[in-house]
Structure 1
């Protein structure tokens, strides 16, 4: 009797050990499945938080351009061109008319290697081996010709984006160029990198051909090459440019005064001077950007300091 009781105890212990091994194996399998899923869910939640925040702030009608550069918003056609979907749901958005589908895709890159997509970021690099347009080599995004997104009657706008400097990001790097239309005047935003220090500036021409700019003084910051930082520019008449770094005001405009005829546009005219992300809009300039982008957004009004801070916190 004692022998059988001992045998039963041994069998019970052996069975319990097997059970533990099976449970451990199941948990390991579940972990290998759930961890990637949870990681993807976190990334989607971050993007959803940005979209939700935008809705909560009632910015839908003001935000006419939003490009998160997530893998779901990037497609490629049969010729190797990449397209970035505009997520702002602007009703009058149409693609720049060069034979592409005007109802589906709102932005495009030049060159088969024109954009590097890594889940939530887009990267633009200057490379003379890529596609040429207007004697400019490199890759960048060209905004659509949007009849409803022209800002002819109002200069006010806001530009926001998350950025990360690439390993070769030194010197002057242009990251946005306003539409330089035949009936309007262009402007451009840039980052000047000198060693470990960077400055964000915004220049534009007025009706007299003079520069209007935000001074580098006060916008100095120290970005790490592998860390994201948030930039926001608010622009309005008569002489008001604010630059925010990571949700905080860094500098204000210094320069000439805007006139009522100085208008900002997001457009393309017969000369092809479209609004561009990743390069200036003027063909005579050849400063390409070694910068990663995420959640690049355009608004057709000057946002408040609190709204800029909310965007920074909500999309962080």
Structure 2
């Protein structure tokens, strides 16, 4: 996943190739353009580079462009762009384009539940399954009028609308309102007024050692509204993000689901887990208090 300040991606385009052949040797002159992107996918600066390949023997037995020679020249062109005046200093400074990414966003006023669910089973009605073209994830209802928070990577396939499966068996369609790639959060909207939202814990305090529950849809859509139990293991920094570490069992499909306390209050959005040989019980959730700033939501309490 992209991290703020570390997410610099360079993308290039080969605009033109000119071949220069002298008897049995050849070289190529390339015109290329390179762009810097950040985590938001917003175009940054552009460098136009003209470069030449080395001279090489022309292969008369396989006439046509020497792809290997051109590939070497493209790589050389990329490194030239990184050293260009257009990119000067851009690779070494933290570029935060968040203000540009969110400049057209208006604050959305929502009303979360005033009271905790009280029981874990009651909190399940506030969790949904988000179906995407490449699989599925989970989501958390944050208002009665249809707003749902999930992970950005759940809806990163770029569709405009997603089937939503509710705990009571209903199916509806949600549209994408906005998303924040750095925080890995997305806001969806279903046209309804009768949902049961979570009560949200907006405190920055994380009570390490206390019980926690993951609610979501692991592995298969038919396993919707599953519950696993564990504890809050710690509070961790991931670049500029703060995450809740938990040993609650997290599986593919849980992404975007709920991490709640024993009262059924939403304390985090399930985000990811650590995979590897001998690694078990290390998962992470995005604290609920991050949601308002990341998605420009004003919760009425």
Greater share of strand: 2
Do both proteins adopt the same fold according to a TM-score greater than 0.5, normalized to the shorter chain?
A: no
> Shorter-chain-normalised TM-score: which range?
under 0.3
Greater share of helix: 1
| Higher RCO (CA 8 Å, separation ≥ 6 residues) | 1
TM-score using structure 1 length? 0.23
